[in-house]
């Protein structure tokens, strides 16, 4: 499996000093920042949009290579993922991770320049994200079968293949929820089929649950409350990394 990537979720940071929280977190040894975008439709909560991402981007050096330190991993919990690709690219998003469930259900009304297939077809959405120079991720909620990802990941057209799969280990919407170990078979199946794929887990990850996720084959670890609630965020980040790499 690829090396560990630790991506603290800034959802649990102090939003009153978000820029500093972001630069501090990179200073504590984080690889990426996981940026949770919620629209109040796809999930029952609202966070912030592209203008905030633009501002916090200036507090963190851009990654020097794909997936390098400082990557902004934008987790798009939004009903119209196609509509916001350009805005987030301009704001400094490096990895645009949309939800499969949103892509297939998005409406045709939103983006006049796109065909209806582009709006609802996850493969076309991945291509579009790539065409704007970003990496693409596809996320699945706990109730979604991992099988939907195989067809997308097995595409011979490499432009249409996502660079990361995100297996949610809680229902998206809120930080601080309980990790769902019953999601691990999804991770195991993905790891078996795609030895080199970046597989991200998000929700309830901590020193207590990391071994379960790492054993299943996850390498990109999101942690919100576990990092931002810790006495020493640097220690937690180091321990999560150690558990994945050992």
Binding site for ligand DX5 (CB under 6 A): 9, 11-12, 34, 36, 75, 170, 172-177, 202-205, 222-226
Distance in Å from the first CA to the final CA of the chain: 11
Backbone angles phi, psi at 66, to 5 degrees: -55, 130
Nearest to 80 by CA among 125, 14, 45, 17: 125
Give me the least distance between CB of 150 and ligand DX5, in Å please: 23
Query: What does the DSSP assignment read for 67-128?
Result: T-TTEEEEEEE-S-GGGGHHHHHHHT-SEEEEEHHHHHH--TTS-TTS-HHHHH-HHHHHHH
Position with the least CB separation from ligand DX5: 224
36 flagged as catalytic: yes
| Catalytic entry in 36, 39, 94, 163 | 36
Give me the least distance between CB of 84 and Zn ion, in Å please: 16
Instruction: Report what 81 binds from Zn ion, ligand DX5, none; CB cut-off 5-8 Å by kind.
Output: none
Which of 121, 203 has the CB closer to Zn ion?
A: 203
Which of 137, 160 has the CB closer to ligand DX5?
A: 137
Classify 137 as helix, strand or coil.
strand
Which of 23, 45 has the CB closer to Zn ion?
A: 45
How far apart (Å, rounded) are the C-alpha atoms in residues 119 and 80? Answer: 8
Which of 29, 173 has the CB closer to Zn ion?
A: 173
Question: What single DSSP character describes residue 6?
Answer: E
CB 122 within 8 A of CB 100: yes
Give me the least distance between CB of 31 and ligand DX5, in Å please: 15
Residues in Cβ contact with 1 at an 8 Å cutoff, skipping those fewer than 6 apart: 191, 195, 199, 217, 219
Give me the least distance between CB of 176 and ligand DX5, in Å please: 5
Give me the least distance between CB of 115 and Zn ion, in Å please: 29
151 flagged as catalytic: no
Backbone angles phi, psi at 35, to 5 degrees: -115, 110
Q: Give the binding site for Zn ion (CB under 5 A).
A: 36, 75, 202
Instruction: Report what 40 binds from Zn ion, ligand DX5, none; CB cut-off 5-8 Å by kind.
Output: none
Which of 54, 177 has the CB closer to ligand DX5?
A: 177
Residues serving a catalytic function are 36, 202
């Amino acid at each position: 499996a690829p090396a560990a990537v630790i991506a603290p979720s800034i959802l649990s940071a102090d939003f009153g000093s978000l820029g500093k929280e972001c630069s501090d977190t990179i200073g504590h040894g984080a690889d990426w920042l996981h940026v949770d975008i919620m629209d109040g439709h796809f999930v029952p909560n609202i966070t912030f949009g592209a203008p905030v991402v633009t501002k916090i981007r200036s507090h963190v050096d851009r990654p020097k290579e794909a997936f390098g330190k400082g990557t902004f991993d934008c987790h798009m919990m939004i009903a119209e993922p196609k509509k916001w690709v350009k805005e987030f690219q301009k704001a400094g998003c490096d990895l645009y991770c949309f939800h499969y469930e949103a892509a297939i259900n998005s409406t045709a009304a939103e983006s006049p320049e796109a065909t209806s297939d582009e709006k609802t077809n996850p493969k076309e959405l991945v291509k579009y994200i790539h065409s704007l120079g970003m990496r693409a991720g596809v996320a699945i909620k706990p109730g979604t079968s991992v099988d939907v990802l195989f067809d997308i990941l097995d595409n011979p057209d490499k432009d249409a293949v996502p660079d990361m799969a995100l297996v949610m280990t809680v229902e998206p919407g809120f930080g601080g929820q309980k990790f769902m170990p019953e999601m691990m078979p999804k991770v195991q199946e993905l790891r078996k089929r795609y030895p080199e794929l970046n597989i991200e887990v998000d929700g309830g990850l901590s020193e207590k649950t990391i071994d379960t996720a790492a054993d299943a084959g996850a390498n990109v670890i999101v942690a919100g409350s576990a990092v931002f609630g810790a006495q020493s965020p640097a220690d937690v980040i180091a321990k999560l990394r150690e558990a994945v790499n050992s």
